[in-house]
């Protein structure tokens, strides 16, 4: 189910609420108030209620939210209640680190393929770093593998000058979701979604806040 005119900031906070609710559930908590959830997630209670109101009515007045039910509903809204199959393109240091990131699986994100333009050159180094054999495929096989393994999200961790080429390959393979870690803006046709993760942009913001 998709909802129009929902601010991206709200979606980001829903993800935060989901993580907080998982922590509460792990502790055996059954009910949480908007004020308690807000405190745990570092927002205010009015913001929690406003964010949830975009998607309907939740909780019981005077009682609060049932933790397991609200977590289920938020995961359904975010689409994280299903498994998302992903591929990493570019198995350098960052790609290798993401490949071994265990929290992906906890959130139903499963890396099912890894690609590089020269897999034979780096497969030994990556396998040694991860402590297990790693299958790294040549980028030329991307379209075929995407189809065989039902890959829906592509993660770009290549150098900047390769990012657009990889994005084009992912589009040709009909991978509609792209997470771009390369320090370059990439363009995709309408109907495809790109989210950029530029570390230096975040650092610039942090540096600005430290400087004012």
- C-alpha closest to that of 87 among 95, 77, 79: 95
Residue 8: is its pLDDT beyond 60? yes
What is the spatial order of strands in the sheet that 84-89 belongs to?
A: 137-138, 109-116, 84-89, 153-156, 177-180, 193-196
> All domains of the chain, ordered by start, with CATH?
8-77 (1.10.10.10), 84-201 (3.40.50.720)
Give the model confidence (pLDDT) of 115-156 as tens digits: 998 877 666 566 556 666 668 899 999 999 999 999 999 999
Over residues 79-123, the pLDDT tens digits come to: 999 999 999 999 988 998 898 888 887 788 999 999 998 877 666
Structure tokens at 101: 């990131």
Q: At 188, is the pLDDT very low, low, confident or very high (cuts 50, 70, 90)?
A: very high
Q: Which residues pair with 179 in a beta bridge?
A: 155, 195
Give residue-wise pLDDT tens across range 157-178. 999 999 999 999 999 999 999 9
> What distances in angstroms separate CA 20 from CA 25, 37, 117, one per listed residue?
9, 7, 39
């Amino acid at each position: 189910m998709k909802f129009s005119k929902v601010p991206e900031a709200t979606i980001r906070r829903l993800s935060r609420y989901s993580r907080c609710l998982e922590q509460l559930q792990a502790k055996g908590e059954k009910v949480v108030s908007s004020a308690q959830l807000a405190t745990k997630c570092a927002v205010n209670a009015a913001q929690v209620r406003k964010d949830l109101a975009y998607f309907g009515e939740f909780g019981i007045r005077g009682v609060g939210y049932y933790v397991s039910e609200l977590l289920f509903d938020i995961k359904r809204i975010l689409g994280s209640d299903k498994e998302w199959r992903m591929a990493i393109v570019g198995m350098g240091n960052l790609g290798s680190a993401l490949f071994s990131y265990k929290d992906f699986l906890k959130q139903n994100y499963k890396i099912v393929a890894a690609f590089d333009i020269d897999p034979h050159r780096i497969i030994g180094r990556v396998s040694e770093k991860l402590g297990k054999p790693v299958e790294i495929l040549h980028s030329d096989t991307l379209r075929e593998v995407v189809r065989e393994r039902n890959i829906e999200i592509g993660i770009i961790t290549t150098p900047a000058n390769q990012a657009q080429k990889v994005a084009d390959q992912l589009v040709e393979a009909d991978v509609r979701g792209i997470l771009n870690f390369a320090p370059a803006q990439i363009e995709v046709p309408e109907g495809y979604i790109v989210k950029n993760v530029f570390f230096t942009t975040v650092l610039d913001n942090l540096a600005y806040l430290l400087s004012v």
